[in-house]
Amino acid sequence: MKALAMRAELRNSLTEKLPLLELINPREQLWTLLGVLIAGIVFGTIAVQVFGVKLWVASAAVLAAMLLPAMVKWREDYRRFGLTATVLGVLIALQGFHTVEHLAQWFQYHILRWPTFVSSGLISALNAEWVHFVWNWGFLAVAIYLALAGVRNWWAWALLAWATAHTLEHTYMMWRYQQTLAELTALGATGVSPQGLPGFFGRDGWLATADVTQGTFLCRLPGFTTAPRLDVHFWWNVGEIALLLPAANVYMAERFGRRAAPTRGSDEDLLTKLLAPAQPSA
């Protein structure tokens, strides 16, 4: 009984300080999501190692299996917190996986020492210029919607500025991609994709090669002009999730406060039932 009370008090304290925890808490779907994830890792590893299934196919299958319990959780979020908070929660989940994907690419390149054209993360089929372009414009559109819907704090404004800059770089890369593709087609080199061209930053990027920066310190900035594209976009995405999480936490605190505390099926409910006096029978 005492341990249950202490657990309930600790959870309430954490939720009051970090109301974001209740938004990302899977609640009733926790064990389902963990079970699907663990089973997916086990069977996915067997499928890849024994049966030669491509890694991206196995990874996509695991994500698809996790989608149903995630949607049940998001429906409950909508009932409890409304549309804006639910969209915020979905964006955190999607960007969280996207960051894991970039972390996998970083691990493949820097730890496993794979070449850049092989370091494509868990779902290599999505490592295409059009996918990056659409994803980042989609992220920016959702960030703008959230600002219009009331997610307005310093973290949120910083996220919006960061996402805008990130999206502009992907737009520049898409322009370079289309330009290079047209040049290759004119030369008769069909079936060749100029995937992986640098953007504003990184090795051979605009900052390192533009006429206007030559002869200045700008074209020699460490990292900004020397890092491979894989590293540049790893940090772009780390920045987005690092700004998104505190922006969501401040919004939940301002909008819901104590209302974000657990209310259904929680330790507090169980404790109340255990301590309630027995009702006399008729």
Give 166-201 pLDDT, tens digit per residue: 999 999 999 999 999 999 988 888 777 888 899 999
Residue 123 pLDDT level (bands cut at 50, 70, 90): very high
Closest by Cα among 92, 34, 95, 43 to 66 = 34
Asked if residue 123 lies in contact with residue 58, where contact means CB atoms within 8 angstroms, the answer is no
Share of the chain above pLDDT 70, in %: 86
Predicted confidence (pLDDT) at residue 281 exceeds the cutoff of 80: no
- Cα–Cα distance list, 192 to 49, 131, 195, 230 (Å): 30, 17, 9, 20
Domains in the chain, number: 1
Q: What tokens appear for 196 in the block?
A: 């992986």
Q: What pLDDT is stored for residue 80 in this prediction?
A: 95
Percent of residues in the chain assigned helix, strand, coil, to nearest 5: 75, 0, 25
Whether residue 156 is predicted with pLDDT greater than 90 in this model: the reply is: yes
Contact assessment for residue 160 and residue 145, using Cβ atoms and an 8 Å cutoff = no
- Burial (0-12, 13-18, 19+ Cβ within 10 Å), 280: exposed
Residue 229 pLDDT class (50, 70, 90 cuts):
very high
Least confident of 1-10, 140-149, 208-217: 1-10
Distance CA 119, CA 123 (A): 10
Report how far apart, in Å, the C-alpha atoms of 139 and of each of 132, 162, 195, 238, 244 are. Answer: 10, 11, 21, 14, 11
Q: In the predicted model, is pLDDT for residue 271 greater than 70?
A: no
Query: Does any domain span residue 251?
Result: yes
Q: In 3-state terms, what secondary structure has residue 206?
A: helix
| pTM of structure | 0.86
Is residue 187 domain-resident? Answer: yes
In this predicted model, which residue has the larger pLDDT, 237 or 277?
A: 237
For residue 278, the model assigns a pLDDT of 45
Which domain covers residue 168, as residue numbers? 13-262
In a domain? residue 271: no
Phi then psi dihedrals of residue 272, to 5 deg: -60, -45
Is 191 a domain residue? yes
Our CA dihedral for 22, 24, 29, 33, rounded to 10 degrees, sits at: -150
Q: Please report whether residue 273 resides in a domain.
A: no
Instruction: Please check whether residue 1 lies inside any domain of the structure.
Output: no
CB atoms within 10 A of CB 105: 23
Per-residue pLDDT, 267:
42
Say yes or no to pLDDT of 131 above 50: yes
Does residue 276 sit within a domain?
Answer: no
Q: Is residue 274's pLDDT more than 90?
A: no
- Residue 12's pLDDT is 60
Q: Which residue has the higher pLDDT, 71 or 264?
A: 71
Res 273: pLDDT: 43
Question: Has residue 5 been placed in a domain?
Answer: no
Q: Higher-confidence residue: 99 or 15?
A: 99
Residue 263 reports pLDDT greater than 90: no
Structure tokens at 26: 């899977």
Do 239 and 264 contact (CB within 8 A), yes or no? no
